[in-house]
Amino acid sequence: MVGPAYAFYPFFAELISNGANIGVIAVTIAAWSIKIQWLPFALSILDIKFVLLLNLFILIYAFLNGYVIELFLKINPKRFVL
């Protein structure tokens, strides 16, 4: 997705109100910094190993973030108010 994340918050709220899992929304927001369109520029400046590892770590962090959010909501579901 291209653009600032806050522009998509109403879209995420609509997804949640239609039954989407909050962990999926958290993964989407956390993985926002993976920019496919910037890969040629990043590869021209940085090493391919660094760019691939950076994107891999971002992806791993995004899924871990979604899992942790789901754990927090299981512990205290009243804290999430939409």
Whole-angstrom distance, CA of residue 13 vs CA of residue 7? 11
Per-residue pLDDT of the chain (82 residues; tens, 9 = 90+): 667 777 888 888 888 888 888 888 888 888 887 878 888 899 999 999 999 999 999 999 999 999 998 888 877 656 655 5
> Would you state the pLDDT for residue 36?
82
User: What secondary structure letter does DSSP report for 33?
Assistant: G
For residue 30, the tally of other CB atoms under 10 A from its CB is 20
Whole-angstrom distance, CA of residue 5 vs CA of residue 26? 11
Residue type, 10: P
SS3 content of the chain, % helix, strand, coil (to 5): 80, 0, 20
